[in-house]
Structure 1
Amino acid sequence: MKNLLPALFGFILALSIAHTSLGQDCNLSIRGKVIHLENNQPIYSAYIWLEEINSGTLTDENGNFQLKGLCPGQYTLKIQYLGHKEIIESINLSSSPFNKTYRMEEESLELSGVEIHGHKDAIQTTTAVTALYGEALFEARGENLGESLKRIAGVTTFSTGNSIAKPVIHGLHSNRIMILNNGIRLEGQQWGAEHAPEIDPFIADEITVIKGAETVRFGPEAMGGVILVNPGELPVKKEHTTNLYVLGASNGRMGNINMTHTGGSGKIPGLGYRIQTSAKKAGNIKSPDYYQGNTGLSELNFSGTLGYTSKKLGVEGYYSYFNTELGILRDSHTGNLSDLQEIIANGRPFTDAEFTYDLINPKQVVTHHLVKLKSHYHLNPNWKANIQYGFQMNNRKEFDKRRGDLNERASLDLELFTNTLDIFIDHTHVNAFSGTWGLNLIQQANNNVPGTGVTPLIPNYDMLNLGLYGMEKYSKGPFELEAGARFDIRSVSTARYIQEELETADLSYRNFTAFLGAYYQISEKLEFSSNIGSAWRPPNVNELFSQGLHHGAAAVEIGDQNLESEKSLKWVSSLEYSGKKSLFEITVYANKIKNYIYLNPTGETYSSLRGTFNVYEYLQANAMFYGLDFSGSYEFSEQISGYVKGAITRAKNLDEDNFFPFIPSDRMDWGLSYSFGKDGKKNKVTLSNQLVAKQKREPDFDLAPAPPAYALFGIGYMKKMTIGQNKLNAGIQVNNIFNTSYKEYMNRFRYFTDDIGRNIQLKINYQF
């Protein structure tokens, strides 16, 4: 009996312990996010390990991880990533789940006597972001920037013919969209509807679109969104890579070649360089039934980068040169009022052009130089000081049909000089906070080059803009909260002669903007982000002072000196689902703009010796833009996959209770792909279809009704091969397979001609 009692007591105690253990909540989790201490960039494939359960995982592309099915207790978490200091933390997991953001500090890693350091800057934002890279970017090679970005849901183009395209984000374009060329805001004559961005997409390793109002981060011209054209990182050790692209297209008989060489020094660790050059030539493009006269183009571009990186210091110099000559559809410049009315009624040119590479007037010749000098210095592991200077010179010449010797003179000859200076400090800490504080200075001088024999469309002007801003982010595991504020002050001085009388004006603008955004990873597969921000844009000089014929646009434009600054409040929310076989994202937005400036057709015409032109005037109204973007993909099997994307945009004139001109109509793209082949030789065939609805929400007056809806089919084949240590990518794409005649509402030349017909493109990329 004495021996039985202790045994019975032990049995009861064991049952009690077992019961307690069985009753525990073992559905707890440890969630977290791993990012670089230096710049808040997510770390992909960091190694996460829990010693007590002898199990682990890897971080995803956003730096997130999750370990599920854990019981309450004490755990030892290890985080490892090559070239960074290991993190070991003891976690007491109780009844609630555990969330935390981990910032990994870089440490020197010596390989063959070379120290490797990563110093890539990351732009983290809680608004909707989409990027083109890898295979999608390869498929876009040979296209201008605007056409390339049409692959992203919610991005369309405002075009003038086939060769001139401006990106449109959620219905906004031109001075409301900021483009950054390797971190420098691109400053050209972007106010013109037919002024395409002066940038070569071949410089990009990745093109990113931020769809929110990013005025606080980048300044007034970012009220509609931002496009980041980013080259790849420079090597910091001895290595060399060359990328060769050879492209051709049947329509326009286009040829395009690009070569990029990137290398690192073996004698000076941390020193890297890149040189890139491209050339492009195309002739008259063809609609399904006829050639469009004088629609060819030529380009010659170059860029070079030299950078040095050490553990604390980074220095980079960058130069890019862009040169293009673009023909303007000759039939868009008509002789008299009856000719203009007849060609609009006819819907196509009366003249039957032939194919040629020759360019005649009307045409554009544009050159753009950009110089960037940037340096950063790590004051300590948590604080980094940055300074960046940019210089740009833009020369735009527009030639019109003129008589005698005047035909060789530009009708519009503008030189724009821009200096930008950015000074800012980044701070990151092991705790949950990080941020950026800084100032931005922009100085600009725009001059009309004398000798055109034509009264300048816009006056000479000097502009100075100073912006002060601050942004802070709180991160804890799957949750991020971000806020920022900015104050800008701008002064503009103008001068020009009108009938031998000097007219001057001095204008000043100032405004405060702010934003608040949040991101939350609901689960391993579901993410949600939301951002609301105020934005503003002062009226551009052309909107204030245009008084004459804009030759490249084939239109007379009338400005208004009493225009006020645009002010907006934009809300953007995005939900993304990422499963093993499926990916889906939907973005909704609403953007209320006070004093929205738009170019409106008056219904009047202007006749001169150069022809008859439609008259447009700049007006203001309160506006509401809203809509949604969606995109998704699904893998039906290892070989077959499909995708779909689309956008709906609404833009209402709240004052007149009607609609604005040139707003994208509803559209959807879908496609199916079949992949086959073994490693080293992969093949993919894609069938695609684009559906574009008729724009039924037209303004009260337009020169012609909106064109009907259309559907275009395309097919593509891509092959990836490995040849020794080198890679070969080859592809063929056929757009508009059935040679369908159609007109895009967002093409300003839809009044005069159909859009481009069937086009067969061949693309070859060799990496060695």
Structure 2
Amino acid sequence: MNFIKYAFTLFILILSISNGMAQDCNLVIRGKVIHLENNEPIESAYIWINEVERGEITDQDGNFVIRNLCPGSYTIKIQFLGHKEILDTISLNTNSFNKTYRMEEESLDLVGVEIHGHRDAVQTTTALTALYGDELLAARGENLGESLKRIAGVTTFSTGNTISKPVIHGMHSNRIMILNNGIRLEGQQWGAEHAPEIDPFLADEITVVKGAETVRYGPEAMGGVILVNPAPLATKKSRKTELNLLGGTNSRMGNISVTHSGGSGKINGLGYRVQASAKRAGNVKSPDYYQDNTGMSELNFSGALGYSSSKLGIETYYSFFNTSIGILRDAHTGNLSDLEQIIQNGRPFTNADFTYEINNPKQVVSHHLAKVKSHYHLSENWKLNAQYGFQLNLREEYDRRRGDLNDRPSLDLKLYTNTFDLFVDHTHRNEFSGTWGVNLIQQANSNVPGTGVTPLIPNYDMVNVGFYLMEKYSKGPLELEAGLRYDLRNVQTARFIQNELQEADLDYQNFSAFIGGLFQINPRLSFSSNLGSAWRPPNVNELFSQGLHHGAAAVEIGDSELNSEKSFKWVNELEYDHNNLHLEVTGYANQINNYIYLNPTGETVVSLRGTFNVYEYLQANAFFYGFDFAGSYEFTEKISAYAKGSIIRAKNTDENNYFPFIPSDRMDWGFAYDFDSGNGKTNKVTLSNILVAQQTREPDFDIAPAPPGYALFNLAYQKQLQVHSNKLNLGIQVQNIFNTSYKEYMNRFRYFTDDMGRNILLKINYQF
């Protein structure tokens, strides 16, 4: 026994010595390289260690790892075009080394090189996904909601086939904030059929942030944020023009967009951009019939002018969005019997023909947005930012009425919004950075008189002031951030009902906070987690709606006693990227107290204008949870596959039942074949399949049961050609190849009609 004991002790001793010797040269240097100005990761920065003559390149998150180093002193050299070189001497003993490096820009005068240093980065540790490059190019011609369905976890809440709103993890409308070039989009977004007043053609990148972002952006960001960002303005002499031409067989849609940008050769740092688009479509065709009065038209414009230097930057921006949208005529039934029959029939009784004509019921919407933004570098580490935005939203909704009244809108709203943001960013060569700021929102909504109808919502004035601070710690593969915000909101309303003035003066206030982290476990695997509290005061329509909402073809009843929504959302994301495989999995849980929802009552109202379903705003505690996944795999240089999908559950914990209009389970998967892999030019065909399950978790009452699940097949081909020094991108897409009849549960007009049938799209993009 003693021999065994001594032998075992000797074995452990030898093993320990061996391990110690083996570990002498098993040390690791981990690092992260980011911009000093805005903490944005720097991809493809070059890392060199002279002592061992080894180098690495940073990945898309700015991370690098150098392994198998022995104890000793090392000099790290970091280089990236347009930035000052970093030399850092470190000492490795028995522990590995982590550090974040912040690179400072320097002026370069190189022909054909532009250095853009003043575009704000998306600073968050919560889950986010972006559309850009070829994927954004493939989405051209679609509205914002349809474009974002390409991102796992994002669906749409639609009214027919021409109006859609993005849904993130079951949240939409006033729970999702949309930023147009940094300005929070403020329209009448409370309506189910009030689509975002934004032209996706102005975007160079569209980013979706899936966490609760109220600390960063304010109460309306409790469900997530969508950032629509144009390309940065040029700072050197240049000229670039981009032309998009699109055509679609279904609704015989035509779409054109032109963008021209450039920089001054006389004033260094001065750049400009102008963009315009027009779109026209006629009646949408379901597989077996046309949908009457479902045409639309759009005319949009935007322009920007900016100046940027090493100390100062200023930018002015203006955009105009204008659209006319027909509302399905069969959604406005004549009497109760007609309503019951069309729901039972499942399709319109009208045998419509194709036409571009848009008649009542319809909506006409115009949106003006103007902004002035400036920043000034107080020092190497501190930057002061100021931004002012003005918006005017004009919404007219027309119903079918008699005589001269047919030319008058039944709902005529004018919304003025002023926003002001003042904040400072601080970044340092150590691990800490942050933002402190205040933002002010002033809003005035008025019902334009002369409609002859009692307004659906009252006139109101709203003022919201918010104070916030956020701090971030970054060291090597680890990022930690936390934030705190306080908001105070006052809403004053007034309207006449039966010649009696009704007024209200309401105050809301709340704190919100978050804490999050991101850890690069190794060069292939990263994990992020974000826990945030959020809140949202009830909107005016939820409080005071009282009557027919013409665009939605429904009567809506508000509740003036509603309380603010308050939530805690926990989002976790795991991302793996190695060789030919890429995977992303996002899981979340969201506890919402006083969740406000629009519930069908089962009642109808019969008036001179028809018979309409009645909905009321209710409030209950809710628990949302689910996960999104997205992955791709390259079998060979030419053949690849992808899959993405989402599962969401939303429970009314007070009544132990379900909420209406929650997306059902879905998956999008497909295969791609690249004809010219490896040469940097797109030339591939993609066959995809969308699977959507039936929504079996319905509320206790709905006007009609949820439609069956469905499967759609789509085909797409993209090819890039070089025309002298210019790029020509050609594309053809066949949506719903087999002309399948189906109904989407998240379409409010599913009671009256099928969704769109087969659609063939031709796309031309020319960059010169």
State the TM-score, normalizing by the size of structure 1.
Answer: 0.97
Q: How does 1:473-488 map to 2 (within 5 A)?
A: 473-488=472-487
Deviation track 1:333-375 (CA, whole Å, cap 9, x = no partner) reads 0000000000000000001100000000000000000001000
C-alpha separation between the residues in 1 aligned to 2:113 and 2:566? 52
Q: What amino acid does structure 2 have at the position aligned with 1:451?
A: G
Find the aligned partners of 1:645 and 1:85 in 2 and give their Cα distance. Answer: 41
The residue aligned with 1:674 is 673
- Counterparts of residues 437-516 of structure 1 (less than 5 Å): 437-516=436-515
3-state SS, counterpart of residue 637 of structure 1: coil
- In the alignment, which residue of structure 1 is the partner of 2:690? 690
Higher deviation after alignment, 59-68 or 213-222: 59-68
The one-letter code of the counterpart of 1:127 is T
| SS in structure 2 of the partner of residue 252 of structure 1 | helix
The match for 2:705 is 705
- How many angstroms does 1:20 deviate by? 12
Partner residue, 1:43 = 42
Q: Which residue of 1 aligns with 2:287?
A: 288
Q: In the aligned structure 1, how far is the partner of 2:302 from the partner of 2:112? A: 31
> Does the 8 A contact of 1:398 with 1:552 survive in 2?
yes
**1:430 counterpart residue number:** 429
Whether 1:610 aligns to 2:609 is: yes
Which stretch of structure 1 is more off in the superposition, 277-286 or 85-94?
Answer: 85-94
Q: 1:504, 1:763 → 2: CA distance?
A: 52
| 1:123 CA drift (Å) | 1.7
Q: Give the Cα separation in 2 of the matches to 1:637 and 1:23.
A: 38
- 2:248 and 2:99 map into 1 onto residues whose CA distance is 52
Alignment of 1:144-155 (within 5 A): 144-155=143-154
Q: What CA distance in whole angstroms lies between the structure 2 residues aligned with 1:25 and 1:301?
A: 65
Equivalence for 2:204? 205
Alignment partner of 1:98 is 2:97 = yes
* Residue-by-residue CA offset, 1:56-99 (whole Å, 9 max, x unaligned): 01111111111111111111100111221111111111221111
What does the per-residue CA deviation read over 1:412-440, in whole Å, with 9 as the maximum and x for residues that have no partner?
00000000000000000000000000001
Residue of structure 1 in register with 2:232 after alignment: 233
What per-residue deviation string (whole Å, max 9, x for no partner) do you get for residues 4-60 of structure 1?
xxxxxxxxxxxxxx9999655222111100001111011111110000111101111
Q: Tell me how far apart the structure 2 counterparts of residues 110 and 727 of structure 1 sit (CA, whole Å).
A: 26
Distance 2:506 2:281 in 1: 43
Corresponding position of 1:576: 575
Regions of 4+ moved over 6 Å: 18-21, 112-115
Tell me which residue corresponds to 1:316.
315
For the residue of structure 2 that corresponds to 1:380, the secondary structure is coil
Q: Which runs of 5+ in 2 are unaligned?
A: 1-16
Q: Which moved more, 1:557-566 or 1:87-96?
A: 87-96
Q: Who is 1:15 aligned against? A: none
Q: Deviations over 1:533-561 (max 9, x none)?
A: 00000000000000000000000000000
Q: Secondary structure at the match of 2:487?
A: strand
Aligned pairs for 1:410-421 within 5 A: 410-421=409-420
- Deviation per residue, 1:558-612 (Å, 9 max, x gap): 0000000000000000000001101000000000000000000000000100000
Please list the CA deviations of residues 293-315 of structure 1 after superposition, one character each: whole Å capped at 9, or x if unmatched: 00010000000000000010000
Paired residue secondary structure (1:522):
strand
Aligned amino acid, residue 553 of structure 1? A
Could you tell me which amino acid in structure 2 is paired with residue 339 of structure 1?
Answer: D
Cα distance in 1 for partners of 2:89, 2:363 equals: 66
Partner of 1:756: 756
Cα distance in 2 between the residues matched to 1:476 and 1:20: 28
| Cα distance in 2 for residues equivalent to 1:118 and 1:511 | 35
Distance 1:24 1:586 in 2: 34
Count of residue correspondences? 751
1:242 is displaced (CA, Å) by 0.4
Corresponding letter in the other structure for 1:550: H
Q: Is the 1:521–1:528 contact (alpha carbons within 8 Å) kept by the matching residues of 2?
A: yes
Quick check: 2:386–2:421 contact (8 Å CA) kept in 1?
yes
State the distance in 2 between where 1:539 and 1:21 align. 63
Matched, 1:383 2:373: no
The one-letter amino acid paired with 2:233 is L
1:300 has 2:293 as partner: no
Q: Show CA shifts across 1:626-648 (max 9, x none).
A: 00000000000000000000000
SS in 2 for 1:269: coil
Structure 2 Cα separation of the partners of residues 381 and 279 of structure 1: 44
**1:665-718: CA deviations, max 9, x gaps?**
000000000001373764101000000000000000000000001000011111
What is the aligned partner in structure 2 of residue 260 from structure 1?
259
Call closer, same or farther: CA 1:413–1:574 in 2, change over 3 Å. same
Determine if contact 1:623/1:653 at 8 Å carries over to the other structure.
yes
CA contact (8 A) 1:110 1:116 kept: no
Q: Distance in 1 between matches of 2:116 and 2:715?
A: 43
Note if contact 1:114-1:269 (Cα within 8 Å) is conserved in structure 2. no
Aligned to 1:553: 552
**CA offset digits 1:128-178 (Å, max 9, x no partner):** 000000011011100000000000000000000000000000000000000
2:114–2:234: 8 Å Cα contact kept in structure 1?
no
What is the letter of the counterpart of residue 731 of structure 1? Answer: G
Match of residue 58 from structure 2: 59
Residue 8 of structure 1 is matched in structure 2 by: none
The residue type paired with residue 55 of structure 2 is G
Distance of 1:44 and 1:119 partners within structure 2: 17
For 1:652 and 1:589, how far apart are their aligned partners in 2? 14
The residue number in structure 1 matching 2:79 is 80
Aligned partner of 2:706: which letter? A
- Sort the Cα spacing of 1:609 and 1:483 in 2 relative to 1 into closer, same or farther, 3 A: same
Q: Which amino acid aligns with 1:696?
A: T
SS of 1:26's equivalent in the other structure is coil
Which deviates more, 667-676 or 82-91?
A: 82-91
- What SS is found at the alignment partner of 2:174? helix
Question: What CA distance in whole angstroms lies between the structure 1 residues aligned with 2:228 and 2:259?
Answer: 16
Equivalent residue number for residue 642 of structure 2: 643
Within-5 A mapping of 1:24-39: 24-39=23-38
2:157 maps to 1:158: yes
Please say if residues 108 and 115 of structure 1, whose CA atoms lie closer than 8 Å, have aligned partners that are also in contact.
no
Alpha-carbon deviation of 1:108?
Answer: 1.8
CA contact 2:214–2:534 (8 Å) conserved in 1: yes
Partner letter of residue 53 of structure 1? V
Letter in 2 for 1:490: R
SS of corresponding position for 1:454:
coil
Write the deviation string for residues 205-238 of structure 1: whole angstroms up to 9, x where unpaired.
0000000000000000000000000001111000
Instruction: Give deviations 1:430-476, integer Å, cap 9, x for gaps.
Output: 00000000001000000000010000000000000000000000010
Q: Does 1:720 align with 2:720?
A: yes
The amino acid of 1:706's aligned partner reads A
Q: 2:135 aligns to what SS in structure 1?
A: helix
Greater displacement, 24-33 / 233-242: 24-33
Aligned to 1:4: none
Q: Using the TM superposition, give the Cα deviation of residue 111 of structure 1 relative to its aligned residue in structure 2, in angstroms.
A: 3.4
- Please state how far the C-alpha of 1:113 moved relative to its aligned partner: 13
Corresponding residue SS for 1:734:
strand
Equivalent residue for 1:362? Answer: 361
| Equivalent-residue separation in structure 2 for 1:371 and 1:481 (angstroms) | 35
Q: Distance in 2 between matches of 1:265 and 1:327?
A: 43
TM-score by length of 2: 0.97
- Cα distance between partner residues in 2 of 1:181 and 1:447: 24
Counterpart mapping for 1:618-637 below 5 A: 618-637=617-636
Residue identity in the other structure for 2:625: Y
CA distance in 2, matches of 1:24, 1:373: 57
What amino acid sits opposite 2:362 in the alignment? K
